C-alpha cells in the first residue's frame, strides 16, 4: 500500500508540474506577442545617464549673511544609444529661512538659464523635464545667492541651508 501511495503522489506532482510549465510558457508567449500596425520605428540601445560634480552634490552653507553666494558646478552626460529625459532635484533639503524670497537660485547650462527663482523650502525638482541627446554633455552652474535688500533681514542672518543635487531620470 505504501508503494501505491508513493506512486499516486509522484503522479499528482508530475501533473501539477506539467500544468505549471504549460501555463508559464503560454503566458510568456502571450506577453511577448507584438501587434504591429502601420510602420513603427523600433530603436535599440542602452541608456547611460552619468553625472560628475566638480565639488560634490552637497549644498551646505552655515551662518549665511546677505551677499553670500554658493556655486556648484556639475556635468550630465548621455553615453548611451538613446536620447534620455531627466529632472534636476534638490533632495534632503533644509532651508531655515523665514523669507525664502531673499534666497535666489539660478541654474545655467553653459550661458543658457534653465531655471531660476526663490530657493525651494522643500525637497523637489527645480527643473522641468530636460532631454539630453546621445553622446551629449550638459555643463551646469548652480548659483544660490542671499540677496542684500534694504529691508530688515536680521531674522534670517546666521541661518543655514543644505541639500543634495540629484539627477532623476524620467
**Of 37-46, 62-71, 145-154, which gets the smallest average pLDDT?**
37-46
CATH of the domain at 164: 2.60.120
The rounded percent of the chain whose pLDDT value lies above 90 is 66
pLDDT: which is higher, 67 or 8: 67
How high is the pLDDT of residue 22?
76
Question: What's the chain's average pLDDT?
Answer: 85
Q: Which residues sit opposite 106 in a β-bridge?
A: 116, 143
Residue 66 lies in a domain: yes
pTM attached to this predicted model: 0.71
Q: Domain of 75?
A: 49-169
Residue 43 has pLDDT above 50, yes or no: no
Q: Cα separation of 86 and 49, whole Å?
A: 9
pLDDT value, residue 33? 43
The answer to the question of residue 57 being in a domain is: yes
Domain count, the chain: 1
Is position 44 within any domain? Answer: no
Amino acid at each position: 500500500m505504501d508503494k501505491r501511495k508513493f506512486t499516486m503522489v509522484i503522479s499528482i506532482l508530475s501533473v501539477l508540474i506539467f500544468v505549471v510549465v504549460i501555463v508559464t510558457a503560454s503566458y510568456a508567449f502571450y506577453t511577448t506577442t507584438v501587434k504591429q500596425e502601420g510602420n513603427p520605428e523600433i530603436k535599440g540601445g542602452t541608456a547611460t545617464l552619468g553625472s560628475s560634480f566638480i565639488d560634490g552634490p552637497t549644498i551646505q552653507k552655515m551662518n549665511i549673511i546677505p551677499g553670500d553666494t554658493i556655486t556648484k558646478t556639475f556635468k550630465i552626460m548621455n553615453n548611451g544609444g538613446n536620447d534620455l529625459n531627466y529632472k534636476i532635484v534638490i533632495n534632503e533639503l533644509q532651508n531655515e529661512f523665514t523669507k525664502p524670497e531673499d534666497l535666489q537660485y539660478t541654474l545655467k547650462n553653459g550661458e543658457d538659464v534653465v531655471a531660476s527663482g526663490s530657493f525651494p523650502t522643500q525637497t523637489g525638482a527645480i527643473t522641468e523635464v530636460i532631454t539630453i541627446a546621445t553622446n551629449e554633455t550638459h555643463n551646469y552652474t548652480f548659483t544660490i545667492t542671499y540677496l542684500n535688500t534694504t529691508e530688515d533681514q536680521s531674522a534670517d542672518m546666521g541661518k543655514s541651508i543644505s541639500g543634495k543635487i540629484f539627477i532623476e531620470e524620467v
